[in-house]
Chain A
Amino acid sequence: MIRSGLRASPGEFVLKVINVLVMCFVMVVTLYPFWYIFVASFSDPYEVVRTSGLMIWFKGFDLYAYKEVLRHRLFWISYRNTMVYLVMGLIVNMTMTTLAAYAMSRRNIKGKGVVMKIIVFTMFFSGGLIPTYIVVDNLQMTDTMWSQFVPFAINTFNMIILRTAFQAIPDSIEEAAIIDGASAAQVMIRVVLPLALPSIMVIGLYYTEEIWNSFFRGLIYIRTDTKYPLQLILRQVLLSNVMGQSDQSFVDTNIGQTVKYATIVVSTLPVLMVYPFIQKYFVKGVMIGSIKG
Chain B
Amino acid sequence: MEPTQNTKDRITWHLACNVNDIPEDGGGCALIEGKQIAIFNFTRRGEWYATDNECPHRQQMAIGRGMIGSQGEEPKVACPFHKKTFSLKSGACLTDEDYKINTFPVIVKENKVYIGL
Same complex for A and B? Answer no
Binding site for B on A (CB under 8 A): none
